[in-house]
Structure 1
Amino acid sequence: MRKIIVNAFISLDGVMQAPGGPQEDPSGGFKLGGWSALCWDEIMGQTMEQIRDRPYDLLLGRRTYEIFAAHWPYQKEEPISEVFDRITKYVVATKPVDLSWQNSVLISGDVVAAIKELKSQPGPDLFVDGSSVLLQTLLAENLVDELHTWTFPVTLGQGKKLFDGGTPSGHWKLINSVVATTGVIIASLVPDGPVQTGTFEMGEISEREVTRREKFRQTGEL
């Protein structure tokens, strides 16, 4: 069974839109594209190589696919270009999309059923880069098997977010972490069951706390 593995570059406030360049995705009036570009170091490069050190195909949303298709086939000096050309690109789209980039396959219609079927088939794991809209579906349906968050020391204030609606509650287990010299924190996580809750209460609760809780029970406000 294939795994779905997500690589997400995010700001401290959870924005993942256009990390690579000013014109990557200016939709919604986003003006800070390229916010990750000056934070890269050798540690991050080595970590990315380790994460991708396995056979894989790509699973991409339409917008990210179009960004990739307009860039990577023309970067022949970059080793990753040959890899992206060769592997299969599964493209989730509800609008027409140019699939002329070699080895590109459309996923449409009942997207969730199609992705579940794709996961169940033998083959390499499926890497998701970018694809903020697709990610909402994958997270809502608990289809993500590994999540690698690259948290950059910047706040952006607006933009498309990694967790942006429909995300179910759940606990994630940290399996590895790396800190770059530029302050980027790379956390590798896997799903680890439901959220477990506890309390920091010590001893008996005060009368004032009892009153506070009763007020909320009666009014629904704190």
Structure 2
Amino acid sequence: MRTLAVSAFVSLDGVMQAAGGPHEDPTGGFTKGGWAVTYFDEEMMNRAPQTSYELLLGRGTYEMFAAHWPYDQGPVADHLNSTRKYVASTTLDQLEWNNSTLIEGDVAEYVGKLKREDGPEIQVHGSPGLIQTLLRHDLVDEFRTWIFPVVLGSGKRLFDGGTLPAALKLTDRWVSKTGVMINIYVRDGEILIGEMDFEVPTDAELARRERLAARGAS
């Protein structure tokens, strides 16, 4: 079974919309695009996992990547351009970026089958709409959240509704010099329910507290 990992840049209040630029995703009247850019440095980019992987993308993120990476150079560009890319879209008819496959039919069913095949891990970058589908169908194995020290108030969120409850385990964490917290969580079974069992004070204790309060007021 292949691992499916969601990698997301999010604000402290969970917004992931248009982290990279003002024109990246202005849908819903979002005007704060580019909120993550000024926090990046070279050290942060070097924290990205270096393992082999394939990409699973929504239409918007695919189009943004396809307009940039084929014209870039370096190890990251080389990998993204050569690796297999699966794209969830109901509006695209054909994909121009090298090694890109358009998902046909039910996305959740397709991804479930994809996970059962042999191959490297599958990474989802951006793609907030696609992530909601994956969460509703319990297809995400790992979360790689880059939490930026900013509160946005509105916008598309990583956990936007319909998420199935699950316990997670923190396996790695790191804080950048600019205050970005990079956390890696994996699935850890069912949620364990507990209770904060506070001792009920006796009548004598209540009376003592009232006397102390009266002295303080005087």
TM-score, normalised to structure 2, is 0.88
Does residue 111 of structure 2 align to residue 118 of structure 1? Answer: no
* Greater Cα radius of gyration, structure 1 or 2: 2
Spell out the pairing of 1:61-76 with structure 2 (5 A cutoff): 61-75=58-72
CA distance in 2: counterparts of 1:205 and 1:157, whole angstroms? 41
Q: For 1:46-77, what per-residue CA distance to the aligned partner results, in whole angstroms no more than 9, with x for missing partners? A: 211xx2x21111000111111111121122x3
Letter in 1 for 2:46: Q
Do the aligned partners of residues 157 and 98 (structure 1) sit closer, same or farther apart at CA in structure 2, a change above 3 Å counting? farther
Following superposition, which runs of at least 4 residues in structure 1 exceed 6 angstroms of deviation?
Answer: none
Partner residue of 2:103?
A: 107
CA distance in 1: counterparts of 2:45 and 2:55, whole angstroms? 19
Is the CA contact (8 Å cut-off) linking 1:94 and 1:109 kept in structure 2? no
Partner residue of 1:23?
A: 23
SS of match in other structure, 1:47: coil
Is the CA contact (8 Å cut-off) linking 1:15 and 1:160 kept in structure 2? yes
In structure 1, stretches of 5+ residues that fail to align are 207-222
Higher mean C-alpha deviation, range 191-200 or range 141-150: 191-200
In structure 2, stretches of 5+ residues that fail to align are 203-218
Letter in 2 for 1:68: F
Letter in 2 for 1:66: E
Q: For 1:171-193, what per-residue CA distance to the aligned partner results, in whole angstroms no more than 9, with x for missing partners? A: 11000110111110011000111
Is the CA contact (8 Å cut-off) linking 1:62 and 1:97 kept in structure 2? no
TM-score, normalised to structure 1, is 0.86
CA distance in 1: counterparts of 2:194 and 2:6, whole angstroms? 29
Number of residue equivalences: 203
Spell out the pairing of 1:143-182 with structure 2 (5 A cutoff): 143-182=139-178
CA distance in 2: counterparts of 1:145 and 1:99, whole angstroms? 27
Give 1:55's match in structure 2, choosing from 24, 29, 52: 52
Do the aligned partners of residues 42 and 100 (structure 1) sit closer, same or farther apart at CA in structure 2, a change above 3 Å counting? closer
Task: Tell me how far 1:82 sits from its aligned partner.
Answer: 1.6
Higher mean C-alpha deviation, range 86-95 or range 36-45: 36-45
CA distance in 2: counterparts of 1:201 and 1:23, whole angstroms? 51
CA distance in 2: counterparts of 1:95 and 1:146, whole angstroms? 28
CA distance in 2: counterparts of 1:25 and 1:205, whole angstroms? 55
SS of match in other structure, 1:91: strand
CA RMSD in angstroms, aligned pairs only: 1.7
Do the aligned partners of residues 8 and 97 (structure 1) sit closer, same or farther apart at CA in structure 2, a change above 3 Å counting? farther
Partner residue of 1:37?
A: 37
CA distance in 1: counterparts of 2:43 and 2:98, whole angstroms? 32
Is the CA contact (8 Å cut-off) linking 2:94 and 2:102 kept in structure 1? no
